Structure 1
C-alpha cells in the first residue's frame, strides 16, 4: 500500500535532479542519496529511484556523444585555412567565418538537437514527478537501464 510519504519521496527523487543547477553533478548526487536512503522502504521508491538515476546517466551519455560529434565540425571549419606547420605566432592568425560550410551547418544542427533534448529532458522530469505524485510507475523513454 502506497502512502503519501512514499509518493512524496519518489517525487522528490525525480525533482532532486534539478539540483544540478545549484550543485555540480547534483542531478546524480541528489537522486542517489534519496534513493539509497529509502530504497528499502518500498518497491515504488526503489523503482522511481532507479528510473531517475538511469535517465540521468543516459542523458549524460547522449550529451557526450552529441558533443563529441559536434566539436570536430567547428574545429575543422574555423582552422581549415591555417597551416599548423607554418604557424609561427599570432601575427598572421585569421579566422574566416564569412562563408559557412556544410560542416558548420551540421555542427549547428547537432547543437540545436542538444538544446531540444535539454528541453525534452526537463519536461520528462516534470512528467515523471507528477506520475510519482499520483502513485503511478513511470518509465523514461530512451533510457538505458544501468541499474536493474
Structure 2
C-alpha cells in the first residue's frame, strides 16, 4: 500500500492575527507592510485554514493604499484635497489591520473598508 504525503491543514488564528498586524511595519520602519504579510501568506496559504482569504485581503488593502497615496499626492495642488486623502489613507492603513487582527483572532473573515479587489 502506498501512502501519499498529505499536508494537514490546521487552524491558527494567532498567525492570521500576526499577519494582519505586520502591516503596521510601515508605521514603525517605513517599509515592510506589504512584503512581510506577502511572504507569510505565500509560505502558509496551503497549510493554515483561512490564510488564503486573509492574505488576499491584506495584499488588496496594501495595493489600494499605495494607489490612494499615488492619487493623493498630485491632488495636493487642488486646494489641498490631497492632504485630506493622505490623512484618510494613513488612518485607514493604521486602523483596519488592527480591527481585522481582532477579527482573525476570533475566527471571523476579514473586511477591509474601501479596498479595491485586485485578487479574488
User: For each residue in 1:69-111, what CA deviation from the matched residue of structure 2 results, as whole angstroms up to 9, or x when unmatched?
Assistant: 22xx2xxxxxxxxxxxxxxxxxxxxxxxxxxxxx5xx12x320
Q: Report what 1:85 is aligned to.
A: none
How many residues end up aligned between the 2 structures?
Answer: 112
User: For each residue in 1:8-67, what CA deviation from the matched residue of structure 2 results, as whole angstroms up to 9, or x when unmatched?
Assistant: 111111111112234453011110111011000134111001101110000100110011
Task: State the 4+ residue runs in structure 1 displaced beyond 4 angstroms.
Answer: none
For structure 2, which runs of at least 5 residues remain unmatched after alignment? 1-8
Q: Report what 2:100 is aligned to.
A: 128
> Which one of the candidate residues 48, 53, 68 is aligned to 2:59?
53
CA distance in 2, matches of 1:140, 1:35: 17
Q: Where do residues 89-108 of structure 1 align in structure 2 (5 Å cutoff)? A: 106-107=79-80
Give RMSD over aligned pairs.
1.9
* SS of residue matched to 1:141: coil
For structure 1, which runs of at least 5 residues remain unmatched after alignment? 74-102
